[in-house]
Structure 1
Amino acid sequence: MPSEIDDVASDIIGKWSARFGKLDADALAALYSKSAFFFGSNPTLYRGRDGVKAYFNGLPRWAAPRVQFGEVRTERVNPDLVNMAAIASFFLEGDAPSLAVKITWVIAREDGDWKIACHHVSSLAPLI
């Protein structure tokens, strides 16, 4: 039976996936904390909602991007903080994944709603 924390992560994953499918930078940025740290697919650290928006506005305009989350794990840190880890597979051109990464989010309650406070992706392949 899913826990409240699983529901929190599942809700954000669903919203994030739908908004990524439209490459809607404003809608994606709204899912993040005003103090967010964001490491995406490039080495730049983006900060806050404006940084998140800049990252997504800088992506190529794929025709029909989609993302699939698997191996999702969640852990409550405290009543207002949740850790989430998963594998995110991005389908950017066609039916085969173009990119799969490890993704972690720190999800925090902010102004009565759950927001992504920290976003980090890294390679599935060992680096060492």
Structure 2
Amino acid sequence: MPDAADEIASAIIAQWSAGFGKLDADALAALYSKHAFFFGSNPTLYRGRDGVKAYFNGLPRWRAPRVQFSDVRAERVNDGLVNMAAIASFFLDGDAPSLVVKITWVIAREDGDWKIACHHVSSQTPLI
């Protein structure tokens, strides 16, 4: 039986994946805390829901984007905090992934709901 951390992470992953598939910046931004920090695929730190929305509105308009999460790990830190780490494979132009990254989220309780408070992606290629 999955624990609460797995269920929380899975629910957000499902919503995030659906939003990304439509490049729906409003739906994606709604998944984030009003205090979110967001490091995506460029060096800019985006902040809050407006920052998240700006990031997704700035992406190219791919024809049929989709994302697949694998190796998902979730851990409950306390009653209001969950850590999630995974591999995210982005399919932007066909059947092979265009981009595969490590992704981490800090998911926090905010106004009675679970929101992504910190989003960070990084290369799978070793830096050192």
In the alignment, structure 1 segments of 5+ residues that lack a partner are none
> What letter is aligned with 1:36?
A
Structure 2 counterpart of 1:20: 20
> What letter is aligned with 2:19?
R
C-alpha distance after superposition, 1:64-86 (max 9, x if no partner):
00000000001111100000000
Q: Matches of 2:40 and 2:127 in 1, distance apart? A: 17
Q: Matches of 2:2 and 2:76 in 1, distance apart? A: 13
Q: Matches of 1:107 and 1:18 in 2, distance apart? A: 18
Structure 1 counterpart of 2:93: 93
Aligned pairs (5 A) from 1:1-128: 1-128=1-128
Q: Matches of 1:79 and 1:71 in 2, distance apart? A: 24
SS at match of 2:14: helix
Q: Matches of 1:75 and 1:24 in 2, distance apart? A: 28
Cα RMSD (Å):
0.4
Provide the aligned length of Structure 1 versus Structure 2.
Answer: 128
> What letter is aligned with 1:42?
N
SS at match of 1:6: helix
C-alpha distance after superposition, 1:2-21 (max 9, x if no partner):
11110000000000000000
Identity of aligned residues (%): 84
Q: Matches of 1:93 and 1:75 in 2, distance apart? A: 33
C-alpha distance after superposition, 1:8-67 (max 9, x if no partner):
000000000000000000110000000000000000000000000000000000000000
> What letter is aligned with 1:16?
W
Q: Matches of 1:102 and 1:110 in 2, distance apart? A: 25
In the alignment, structure 2 segments of 5+ residues that lack a partner are none
SS at match of 1:126: coil
Q: Matches of 1:94 and 1:86 in 2, distance apart? A: 22
